[in-house]
Chain A
Amino acid sequence: MLIGKVIGNIVSTAKVDELKSIKLYILQVYNYKLEPTEKYEVAVDSIGAGIGDYVLYCGGSAARLTELTKAGVPTDISIIARIDSFNELKNDKE
């Protein structure tokens, strides 16, 4: 699982039937210090996140095991949690 921030969404009409009425969000990937990286992902929204939220997402076959996606939604990235607060550990020697 990794941390991302919801920065936008995708509008699509022609898509496979299983993806219909499912929200697709663009995530910017953040590192463990909550700094933005140059990586982006497109994720299925399983929890009802909003623009600007920090979220946890998971990839691979685990993305197809949430309540929304286990009916056969063809995705490999799903938002699984919204981050309320984040505690950075202070014992980082660097």
Chain B
Amino acid sequence: MIIGEIIGTVVSTIKVSKIENSRLKIAKIINPFGKPTGKYFIVEDGVGVGIGEKVLIADDDGVVRKLLGRENIPIRSAVVAKIDKINIFE
């Protein structure tokens, strides 16, 4: 799993019927120290997060199927947790 920061949402009217109820957000990937890595993901929001919040992203299609309970959906990345605090000890 990787750490991301939500920077926007995706609005789409014409889409595959299997993802009609999906809430899609744009996440900027950051390292644990808050530095952006340059990567961006479009993610399915499984928790309910807002713009500017740090989140945990699972990037594996089996995760999304378990999370949403839907088989064969064309989504790969999903938000599984909202991060309150990151502790680095070393």
Contact = CB atoms under 8 A, between A and B. Distances in A.
A48 interface: no
B51 interface: no
Contact of A16 (B31, B67, B85, B89): B67
Interface in B68-90: 78, 80-90
Interface in B32-79: 32, 46-49, 56, 58-60, 62-64, 66-67, 78
A74 B83 contact: no
A76 B89 contact: no
A77 B64 CA distance: 14
Contact of B80 (A40, A60, A74): A74
A74 B87 contact: no
A40 B82 contact: no
B19 interface: no
Contacts of A13: 82, 84
Interface residues of B, number: 30
B2 interface: yes
A7 B90 contact: yes
A59 B78 CA distance: 16
A49 interface: no
Contacts of B7: none
Nearest to A43: B1
A19 B31 CA distance: 21
Please provide the 3 A-B residue pairs with the shortest distance between their CB atoms, ordered closest to farther. A15-B81, A76-B60, A8-B88
6 contacts: A10-B85, A13-B82, A40-B3, A64-B62, A64-B66, A74-B66
